[in-house]
Amino acid sequence: MLRPMKIWMKYLIGAILGTAIALVVPLDDANLHGTLAFLGELSIRIGRYALLPLLLFSLPVAVFELNEDKEFWRTLGRSFLFILVSVALFALIGVLTTAALQPARIPLLSDTPQAASVLGIRDLILAIFPPSIFSVLTDSGNFILPLYFLAILLGFAFSYDKIATKPVVSLFDSLSRIFYQINTFFSEFLGILVIAVTALNVLELRLAVRSEVYRPLLIVVGIELALVTLLVIPAILYFTCGRKHPYKWLYAFLAPAFAALVSGDVYFPLGSLTKHAKESLGIRRRTNAVSLPLVILFGRAGTALVTSTAFIAVLSSYSHLGISPRSLLWILATAPLLTLILGAAPGRGAMTGLTALCALYGKGFENGYLIIVPIAFPLIAAGAFLDILWAGCLSLIVAKDTGHMQEKEIRFYI
């Protein structure tokens, strides 16, 4: 009897097909470029399609169950603790690695395109409380914090009068399971969506990088990616999850992390990550629903690492005197704080962080991010890959700590 194909293999085949398409498309064919842009955007939207209702109906039930067992604040506190530590640690790795390897200066170009603007802290706070609570249900496509906040309030409200709220809790529980099944369909279907997403991004990379000036920076980011994926995260898992073999857990998150790498969007594979965490590792809904969105909103450690690396490259390119220890300390203190605004940039993480860092640093560097724009996608993609991988690992650590996990053998991984 043939076994069903692993999901990560479906994504890999889709990425290979998408890369092949991008390599044969002529660089000067505007019509084909427009078609790929349309298909890529459509694929991202389809990949996100079931995410918001899954979150809306799963999180209140998870909060209610955790609150009933007196475990909500413990789960939330553990999640935030690991978020704070990991963001600071990853930013430190980015600073130390870049300072040690010292990539070559990037020529200052005058014809680089403009990057997208970023939201300020005040704008983000206002976004949590829109004029109407119903706006949360319609305006959360690129920022799930308002929906997350509302879902937590609902979860606590379910405990107010258990007799009166029991039918609503049962309804939310049923809808959560229904949308989980819908999410399962889209997770399986994601391998096809990856074709268009990969084709679009590989084509944009071909158009942007036509010289070797960015190669040293990309090599540094590649080294950091390998270091964190193969050494740092496994070490964290080894010492926090009972000193067991950590690479099998990384294997469980390979498919959603790969989808994040080819898309650069952390919402695109989040539904797939939820499915893998539950069905491959046996992490219960009450942990997944609380921890996974929280990491994507406030704990994008991989993007903090890439942002720190890119900002040092910008400073080095503008100055022949090198980076002072004071500037390095400033980056270490500021880059982790910028994760607070990255929740509103699911598909532009590293460039959003870099733009904000340049603006905060000032001293004539406000537009320094422009020299990085031509290689924006590989930086965004590297950060998204680590973000999704770490989100799954953090949910695993919290589930292990709170006992909300039923471990499975690797042969049963989806």
Q: Is residue 327 part of a domain?
A: yes
Helices marked H in 25-71 — which ranges? 30-48, 51-68
What local confidence, expressed as pLDDT, does residue 381 receive?
Answer: 92
Structure confidence at residue 162 (pLDDT):
83
CATH number at residue 261: 1.10.3860.10
Q: Render pLDDT for 384-399 as a digit per residue (tens, 0 to 9).
A: 999 999 999 999 999 9
User: What mean pLDDT is predicted for residues 33-57?
Assistant: 88
Q: How many CB atoms within 10 Å of residue 116?
A: 11
Asked, for residue 383, whether it belongs to a domain, the answer is: yes
Is 354 a residue whose pLDDT tops 70? yes
Q: Is there a domain that residue 407 lies in?
A: yes
pLDDT tens digits for range 371-386: 888 888 899 999 999 9
pLDDT tens readout for residues 272-315: 999 999 999 999 998 999 999 999 988 899 999 999 999 988 88
What is the Cα Rg of the chain in Å? 21
**pLDDT > 70 in the chain, percent:** 91
Q: Rounded to whole angstroms, what are the CA distances from 177 to 162, 192, 406?
A: 21, 24, 19
Q: Across residues 95-109, what is the average pLDDT?
A: 80
**Residue 11: is its pLDDT beyond 70?**
yes
Give the pLDDT score at 345. Answer: 79
- Residue 110 burial (10 A CB sphere; 0-12, 13-18, 19+): exposed
Average pLDDT over residues 3-24: 87
Does pLDDT of 231 surpass 90?
A: yes
Instruction: Tell whether 1 is covered by a domain.
Output: no
- HSE of 267 in the Cβ direction (CA atoms, 13 Å)? 28
46 vs 189: CA distance, rounded Å:
10
For residue 120, what pLDDT is reported? Answer: 55
Domains of the chain: total:
1
Residue 108: predicted pLDDT: 66
Instruction: Select from 250, 192, 144, 181 the least CA-distant residue to 47.
Output: 192
What's the pLDDT band for 209 if we cut at 50, 70, 90?
Answer: low
Cβ burial, residue 403 (10 Å; 0-12/13-18/19+): exposed
Nearest alpha-carbon partner for 334 in 373, 365, 291:
365
| pLDDT reported for residue 115 | 46
| Of residues 323, 321, 277, 317, the one with CA closest to residue 296 | 277
Residue-wise pLDDT for 304-353, tens only, equals 999 999 998 888 887 665 677 888 888 888 888 887 778 777 888 888 88
Q: Which two tokens stand for residue 57?
A: 């109906």
Q: What is the mean pLDDT of residues 100-112?
A: 69
Residue 263 lies in a domain: yes
Residue 411 has pLDDT above 60, yes or no: yes
Q: Residue 1: its pLDDT value, please? A: 43
Query: How far is residue 357's CA from residue 371's CA, in Å, rounded to a whole number?
Result: 14
Averaged confidence pLDDT in the chain: 85
Task: Give residue 359's domain range.
Answer: 7-412
Report if residue 343 sits inside a domain. yes
Residue 270: CB atoms within 10 A of its CB come to 28
Q: Where is pLDDT greater, at 135 or 174? A: 174
State residue 90's pLDDT score: 94
Q: Which of 61, 51, 318, 328 is closest to 187 using CA atoms?
A: 51
pLDDT band at 121 (very low <50, low <70, confident <90, very high): low
Pick the closest to residue 54 from 155, 147, 158, 134 (CA basis).
147
Give the pLDDT confidence of 175-186 residue by residue, as tens digits.
999 999 999 888
- Is 2 part of any domain? no
pLDDT of residue 346: 84
Please compute the mean of the pLDDT values over residues 69-93 and round it to a whole number: 91
Say which residues have a Cβ less than 8 Å from residue 190's Cβ, sequence separation at least 6: 7, 10, 11, 14, 47, 259, 268, 269, 272
Which residues, other chains included, contact 377 with Cβ-Cβ below 8 Å and sequence gap of 6+? 201, 204, 205, 208, 264
37 is a domain residue: yes
